Homo-oligomer: A and B are copies of this chain.
């Protein structure tokens, strides 16, 4: 199974603070973990031709991870169309942190995906709200990220098909931090933590949830179905 991490990959080149935490890009610790879990891994980024998401790359990708922040608007609509189509055809999509505002997530949700935010490095505690769900597997009641950007409700998303985590923030807010959607034959998981200035993507629990998410979102054999014109009725029907 092949996992591709699409990283905007701008902060790491331009912000010393981010470079200090993720010198090779924030996708690297995640892909390294997923590689160790037995997945085939690849990376793609904004400044590559076609943002690194050619037809061939997408066709061979089972689950796509998406992280973006400062340059959502630079992602070409044609590439967003292409990713959306692949999701509807069955590719999994894991949307990370500030990618709540990515074109692809807003496209699949139909809403603004807006929220409240604050960046003082406060503590986040993610509570399991669905203990039987494959994505929370192995988490012990809750886990903490010691320093994170805060995202607070109201989070303008459609009602999730499943809500796996709800976050508590030291500064006083809550947030639906792990939410699942079915879209066409594809599965979408939004997972909140991962601000670029904190070492969140080195944390074992965060990596575990991402790995669980990849397994959950993986394409699976399905029922067949048909669209379009079927001029003949299955049943004989009396003439109108």
> Is the C-beta of A221 less than 8 angstroms from some C-beta in chain B?
yes
For A128, list chain B residues within 8 Å (CB).
Answer: 153-154, 223, 225
A240 and B122 in contact (CB under 8 A), knowing A110-B109, A228-B117, A230-B117?
Answer: yes
Contact B137 A223 (CB under 8 A): yes
> Is the C-beta of A49 less than 8 angstroms from some C-beta in chain B?
no
Interface size class of A (residues with CB under 8 A): 35 or more
A234 and B158 in contact (CB under 8 A), knowing A88-B112, A138-B223, A229-B118?
Answer: no
For A168, list chain B residues within 8 Å (CB).
Answer: 168-169, 172-174
Contact A182 B132 (CB under 8 A): yes
This chain's copy number in the assembly = 4
Contact B240 A118 (CB under 8 A): no
List residues 169-209 of chain A with CB under 8 A from any CB of chain B: 169-174, 176, 181-187
* Distance (whole angstroms) from the CB of A92 to the closest CB of chain B: 11
* Distance (whole angstroms) from the CB of A145 to the closest CB of chain B: 12
Contact A88 B166 (CB under 8 A): no
Q: List 24 A-B contacts (CB under 8 A).
A: A90-B132, A110-B183, A116-B227, A118-B233, A120-B237, A122-B240, A127-B173, A127-B174, A129-B155, A130-B182, A132-B184, A152-B230, A153-B225, A154-B227, A158-B158, A158-B183, A159-B161, A159-B162, A166-B174, A166-B176, A168-B169, A168-B173, A171-B233, A172-B234
Which A-B residue pairs are the 10 nearest by beta carbons? A171-B233, A172-B234, A121-B240, A136-B223, A154-B225, A108-B110, A131-B223, A172-B235, A114-B227, A132-B185
